[in-house]
A = this chain, B = another copy of it.
């Protein structure tokens, strides 16, 4: 555990109110929100300006004290949980929560790292704009964390991941220097793209303190469709058809296996299947228009779906008649994780493969997993158009002790699924990052050139290893 003498140095630097040492107050932040990773920290540093972050990191560098940057603590991979031995301090960005500027005409918002995503949504909406990235944790996830993990969500198909929405960053590098890159330049070829390197670096190369983010026009009209399809391959053909007929107005395209839908209908109150027929697979499509011109999104979607039914890509389809129905369709998609948890223990994988290979992966990998691990059932749902699905392997029916099942089978199933992903040319982390959870698997599966590059970059930026230790970069013994 870091000693009082060191805490005193940070207190002298930042002031007492910016160094939290009360054990009860610290407790919620040393464990991850799902309770899978447990750490310890003698203090949480809570600077409220970029200069204070720079000073804190500079002192940490001088003293060789590791820091764990933390936003809303919503990591899915233990990315913001400190080491168990208390050898690091938490550097919370939550007090840096100002929207410094929101220029609607320029479609730009400059946010500090601690701004909570839903607060940015509200501020953009008040200016008749929107920030087109959203996910379940939007009420606590912060901009800094979302950038550091290159967050995705359900709007990536049209607007891209965080990587495509960040127009500039301000960051404190591990030596305490400030990287001034907030100016939103659409073209900038002054050498290596430091901004892109910091995005998705999970706080291991420095601390993002603020960012310029791209806004888009508010949605004036939308239509949401629910389509029953025979197979993932038909779902992909439907996507291609929609892209051709509806162009850039396709804002969401999610695919859901029928068993997943069944679990929602069983466990989530007030849900019903939007179409009369139960088909093996389902697609949820959202079409957005920035204006109220004719033909509207409902009419245009109807045209595309009629063609899909005619061509046999779809078996049945429904289009939301009003906003309440649109919400109800989305609620099914958004309840899938909760329904799966209620259904029983399962291992969940956040993976991607090239879009064209996704239909075969969805059916083949599930079948192979069920064969290899008898009693399990496997299926997937998610962002087909992004080549990213959440692939679940469920414990055999009647399994009551989930943790024991995971302890016994987890590693074997992990390896099986990840090997299948690599064989399909995919990524073992599509949107959640590596953190602690996938570090060893990344080491096992990354090629030597990628591993060498990751380690070389980490050493170049953070030779002392003080930024978010033991995250993302595989240990020497891990491959």
> Given the complex, which residues of B lie within 8 Å of A25, measured CB to CB?
none
Closest CB of chain B to A475's CB: distance in Å? 14
Which chain B residue lies CB-closest to A457? B192
Given contacts A177-B449, A244-B217, contact A454 B193 (CB under 8 A): no
List residues of chain B with CB within 8 A of the CB of A355: 106, 184, 186
- Residues in B neighbouring A240, C-beta threshold 8 A: 105
What residues on B are CB-neighbors of A60 within 8 Å?
Answer: none
Chain B: minimal CB distance from A96 (Å): 18
Closest to A446 in B: B190
Give the residues from 164 to 198 in chain A that come closer than 8 angstroms, CB to CB, to chain B. 164, 173, 175, 177-181, 183-194, 196-197
CA distance A102 to B429 in the complex (A): 27
Given the known A-B contacts A183-B426, A452-B175, are A189 and B431 also in contact in the complex, defined by CB atoms under 8 Å? yes
In the bound complex, what is the Cα–Cα distance between A90 and B425 (angstroms)? Answer: 33
- For A231-269 the 0/1 string (1 means CB < 8 A from B) is 000000000100010011000000000000000000000
Of A148-156, A279-287, A332-340, A406-414, the stretch lying at the interface with chain B is A148-156
Q: Does A460 contact B (CB under 8 A)?
A: yes
Nearest chain B CB to A392 CB, angstrom units = 18
Q: Judge whether A137 is part of the interface by a CB distance below 8 angstroms.
A: no
Decide yes or no whether A432 CB sits under 8 A from chain B: yes
Q: CA A385 – CA B189 in complex, angstroms?
A: 17
A205 within 8 A of partner (CB): yes
> Digit string of A139-163 for contact with B (CB within 8 Å is 1, else 0)?
0000000000110100010000101
Contact in complex: B187, A352 (CB < 8 Å): yes
CA–CA, A387 and B188, complex, Å: 10
Q: How far is the CB of A72 from chain B (nearest CB, A)?
A: 17
- Closest Cβ of chain B to A430, distance in Å, is 4
- Establish whether residues B460 and A427, one from each chain, have CB atoms under 8 Å apart when the complex forms: no
Contact between chains at B106 and A356 (CB < 8 Å): yes
State how many angstroms separate the Cβ of A436 from the closest Cβ of chain B: 13
Q: Which residues of B contact A247 (CB under 8 A)?
A: 248, 290
Shortest distance from the beta carbon of A21 to any chain B beta carbon, whole Å: 31
Q: Which chain B residues lie closer than 8 Å to A196 at the CB level? A: 163, 193, 196-197
Out of B103, B447, B449, B459, name the residue touching A460 (CB < 8 Å).
B459
**Contact A156 to B186, CB < 8 A, known contacts A191-B200, A355-B106:** yes
Contact of A453 among B192, B388, B429 (CB under 8 A): B192
Q: Given that A355-B106, A356-B103, A434-B189 are known contacts, is A179 also in contact with B217, CB under 8 Å in the complex?
A: no
Report the contact-size class of chain A (Cβ under 8 Å from the partner): 35 or more
Binary B-proximity of A194-210 (CB < 8 A = 1, otherwise 0)? 10110111100100000
Q: Verify if A354 is at the interface (C-beta below 8 Å from B).
A: yes
Number of copies: 2
Decide yes or no whether A433 CB sits under 8 A from chain B. Answer: yes
Given A194-B450, A197-B192, A200-B193, is A354 in contact with B457 using a C-beta cutoff of 8 Å? no
Q: How far is the CA of A452 from the CA of B192 in the complex (A)?
A: 12
Distance between Cα atoms of A410 and B104 in the complex (Å): 40
Residue contact B290 to A190, C-beta cutoff 8 Å: no
Is A27 an interface residue, CB under 8 A from the partner? no
Distance (whole angstroms) from the CB of A360 to the closest CB of chain B: 13
Q: Which residues of B contact A428 (CB under 8 A)?
A: 190
Distance, CA A337 to CA B449, complexed state (A): 42
* 10 further contact pairs, Cβ within 8 A, besides A178-B449, A179-B449, A193-B196: A152-B187, A175-B452, A185-B387, A187-B383, A189-B200, A189-B430, A189-B434, A190-B427, A191-B472, A192-B201
Which 9 pairs, one residue from A and one from B, show the smallest C-beta to C-beta distance? Answer: A460-B460, A183-B425, A456-B460, A196-B196, A188-B427, A187-B430, A177-B449, A179-B449, A187-B388
Could you give 23 example pairs across A and B, Cβ below 8 Å? A105-B356, A106-B356, A149-B189, A156-B187, A164-B164, A177-B448, A177-B452, A185-B430, A186-B352, A187-B387, A187-B427, A187-B430, A188-B430, A189-B432, A191-B202, A192-B201, A193-B197, A193-B199, A193-B200, A196-B197, A197-B457, A217-B244, A248-B248
Residues of A within 8 A of B (CB): 103, 105-106, 149-150, 152, 156, 161, 163-164, 173, 175, 177-181, 183-194, 196-197, 199-202, 205, 217, 240, 244, 247-248, 290, 352-356, 383, 385-388, 425-434, 442, 446-450, 452-454, 456-457, 459-461, 472-473
